[in-house]
Amino acid sequence: MEGNNEKIRERSLIPVLLSHHYMIIKNNPEEIQTYLVDAANYKGFCEEVVFPESENDIINIVKEANKTGKKITVAGNGTGLTGARVPEGGIVIATDKLNSIINIDCDNQKALVQPAVLLADFQSELKEKELFYPPDPTETNCFIGATIATNASGARTFKYGPTRNFVNKLNVILPTGEILSIERGKNFAEDNKLTLLTGTGSEIIVNVPKYKMPGTKHSAGYYVNPRMDAIDLFIGAEGTLGIITEVELKVLPLPQNVFSSVIFFSNEDDALSFISAVRNKSKDNPESIIDASALEYFDERALKFLIDDFPNIPAEAKAAVWLENEFEKKDEEILYNKWIELIEKFNGDIDNAWFAFDNVERKSFQDFRHAVSWKVSEYLVKNNLKKVGTDTAVPHEKFKEFYYSCKDLVENAGIDYIAYGHFGDSHLHLNMLPKSENEYSAAKELYADICRLSVSLGGTISAEHGIGKLKREYLLEMYGEKYIIEMAKVKKMLDPNSIMNIGNIFSEEYLK
Ligand SMILES: Cc1cc2nc3c(=O)[nH]c(=O)nc-3n(C[C@H](O)[C@H](O)[C@H](O)COP(=O)(O)OP(=O)(O)OC[C@H]3O[C@@H](n4cnc5c(N)ncnc54)[C@H](O)[C@@H]3O)c2cc1C
């Protein structure tokens, strides 16, 4: 039980357990404020926030809500950028108390965790055991369950792919209160049909929507493919299909040696060409010693944003690239020489480049990357401004064209911005910083134009943040209404009374 100042009520929602258990339920507006908002500053409302302490608690709450038709929104740690955890009525299920690392199996490289384990804690616990979990969204103060619900990615996605690639098993409480245990590799769709078997033995047949997902990094709408693994439907579903209560994750041996560098360029085009060359060597040539695990970009404006905190950024730099490359000790010298050769070939500023010689320096370069996201948030709060930021990815061969077109659009509109992102994955975060309501409206229009451009080039409107409640209209435009209806049908099969995380991915009207 928590401190004295916290209201603790008997579980009014769970009459069956009333005589045996207590569960924290909060409804004091001040106490629940943090559950009504996320990092996008999108605000909602609810009747109360409940804090289940076990899978059974969740089952009971969900069964009761399913009976009464009460809406449920699942909360992670609130760092999402799309309003996905923000409730619009009903109750919030805060998973906070399900926060144990149940087991780390070093020999078999896997870990069993509850959903509210903080990603940062999980990563440091693994490090002590010489293990490593690659998914690294820039914000690590997030819950593992939520990173699965959003299929989070980060800098290392360039080499290792998104969260999806590391999920072996899931326990999911469906919106009916039934439990579903799914293991990767055990249940595949046939002819666009998935058959799910719940804990009580009932069978649910889901028609897999027939849209084709872009071949780029992508996290928008349900994952589909005609022969898909059932587990993939629940990864990136933004909590609309069930509550993740237990997860088995794949982990890897901790890389022992990592080359890490920040390289500055006096010409943006050189930096972009350098990124293309590194990508080609890393992806297309398995023999290449150049094998970047992270490949990130900062434009001149982003560098100016950071210069007070990182005064050794050369004042004249027009762009920078941060990269990492895992290697074996025996290859150290040859790797270093290969990188110098490549940097020089693309006119990188070798004299002012940063090279990490130990893990402390390496960490400071990672902080440099993370700082850009934080500095933007800090600037917006300080100046009471709202950001309009893209999360688009396009096919690699279209990226330069896309990037320059986006910059032209925003510059021609006279709106302040900074650009950075996971350019190894052709994934652009162009953050517009409008200074007035008029500029904000113009920025929103430009955002829509940029999404359209991305889709027209074969890309996505969201490569990692997801759709939530803030980006539905763009997903609707990307796939068209026909496929949004197919997605809603998937939800209806699993959530017949439309109670769970309503409003994420598509609007409620598609559930009627
Ligand atoms: C500065 C900054 C940088 C960021 N950088 C990145 C980045 O590089 N890559 C990236 O992918 N994201 C990034 N994000 C977004 C965010 O950190 C991720 O989306 C993260 O996964 C959200 O975790 P959370 O615990 O805060 O979840 P919340 O915001 O609380 O919830 C997110 C979603 O998960 C659902 N959910 C939570 N728990 C469960 C559960 N147990 N079962 C089912 N559904 C659940 C919620 O209902 C909601 O739909 C960034 C955010 C910030 C503020």
Rounded distance from Cα 295 to ligand 1 centre (Å):
22
Rounded distance from Cα 381 to ligand 1 centre (Å):
20
Ordered by where they begin, the domains of the chain are 8-94 (3.30.43.10), 101-253 (3.30.465.10), 258-456 (3.40.462.40)
Q: Residue 285 — very low, low, confident or very high, per pLDDT cuts 50/70/90?
A: confident
User: In this model, does residue 203 exceed pLDDT 70?
Assistant: yes
CA distance 160 to 291: 12
Q: How many CA atoms lie within 13 A of 322 on its CB side?
A: 26
434 touches ligand 1 (CB under 6 Å): no
User: In this model, does residue 13 exceed pLDDT 60?
Assistant: no
Give me the mean pLDDT over the 87-98 stretch. Answer: 98
Task: Report pTM.
Answer: 0.94
Atom of ligand 1 nearest to the CA of 95: 41
Rounded distance from Cα 142 to ligand 1 centre (Å):
6
Rounded distance from Cα 151 to ligand 1 centre (Å):
9
pLDDT at 10: 41
Give me the mean pLDDT over the 192-215 stretch. Answer: 97
pLDDT at 366: 92
- Residue 105 is classified by DSSP as E
Rounded distance from Cα 466 to ligand 1 centre (Å):
9
Which of 143, 148, 499 has most ligand 1 atoms within 8 Å of CB, for mutation?
143
Rounded distance from Cα 79 to ligand 1 centre (Å):
5
CA distance 182 to 170: 5
Atom of ligand 1 nearest to the CA of 376: 1
Give me the mean pLDDT over the 472-477 stretch. Answer: 98
Atom of ligand 1 nearest to the CA of 466: 19
User: In this model, does residue 14 exceed pLDDT 90?
Assistant: no
Percent pLDDT > 70 in the chain is 96
pLDDT at 21: 64
Which of 42, 53, 85, 164 has most ligand 1 atoms within 8 Å of CB, for mutation?
85
Helix (H, G, I), strand (E, B) or coil at 79: coil
User: In this model, does residue 174 exceed pLDDT 90?
Assistant: yes
Give me the mean pLDDT over the 199-217 stretch. Answer: 97
Instruction: Tell me the C-alpha to C-alpha distance, in Å, between residue 253 and each of 102, 105, 130, 331.
Output: 19, 12, 6, 19
Two tokens at 476? 């609707």
18-67 residue pLDDT tens: 445 679 999 999 999 999 999 988 999 999 999 999 999 999 999 999 99
CA distance 444 to 450: 10
209 touches ligand 1 (CB under 6 Å): no
74 touches ligand 1 (CB under 6 Å): yes
> Looking at ligand 1, which residue's alpha carbon is closest to its atom 16?
80
With left for phi above 0 and alpha for psi between -120 and 50, is residue 181 left, alpha or beta?
A: beta
Q: Residue 171 — very low, low, confident or very high, per pLDDT cuts 50/70/90?
A: very high
Two tokens at 508? 């409620």
Rounded distance from Cα 146 to ligand 1 centre (Å):
5
236 touches ligand 1 (CB under 6 Å): no
User: In this model, does residue 497 exceed pLDDT 50?
Assistant: yes
CA distance 52 to 21: 11
Least confident of 5-19, 170-184, 222-236, 400-414: 5-19
Atom of ligand 1 nearest to the CA of 148: 21
Which of 81, 96, 429 has most ligand 1 atoms within 8 Å of CB, for mutation?
81
322-367 residue pLDDT tens: 999 999 999 999 999 999 999 999 999 999 999 998 899 999 999 9
